[in-house]
Amino acid sequence: MKFSRIYKETRLIWKRSIDISDGELFEDDSGMFPSLSSAWNEAEEQTQNWSEWHQLMVWCVFCGYHKLARVAFENGKTSISFDDIDKNYVQSRYKENLFSNDAGYGRQMRRAYINDLKP
């Protein structure tokens, strides 16, 4: 399965723009964004009957959104857009999770994965 296909299909369930004005940053370089977490919950619910590929992508897109939210919030922005997510970051998180021994994804799934992003 190609990364770009999974990303494109999963994109359909995410909101194009998410309000982050309710966010809070912490000293340890982390943050909490209730509206973003709510959007993530909605995306997870919508992919319950989708493949493991898509369910994993929901998590990785959330990671990309969260990284973007921290930077945007720090710079005074009140919303973030799917189009501004760092796709390479999402891909690295996807690969990291897919190939983690703790995640439990099978050998067949690992072998079928294709990173088709241009370097």
- Name the percent of the chain lying above pLDDT 90: 87
Express each pLDDT in 47-56 by its tens digit: 999 999 999 9
Would the pLDDT of 101 be above 90? no
* Cβ neighbours around 80 below 10 Å, total: 26
d(CA 101, CA 99): 6
pLDDT of amino acid 105: 87
**The model's pTM:** 0.94
Q: % helix / strand / coil in the chain, to the nearest 5?
A: 55, 10, 35
- The CA distance from 1 to 24, in Å, is 37
Q: Taking the domains of the chain in order of start, what are their residue ranges?
A: 3-112
Tens-place pLDDT, residues 73-90? 999 999 999 999 999 999
**Per-residue confidence band for 29, with pLDDT thresholds at 50, 70 and 90:** confident
Confidence of residue 67 (pLDDT cuts 50, 70, 90): very high
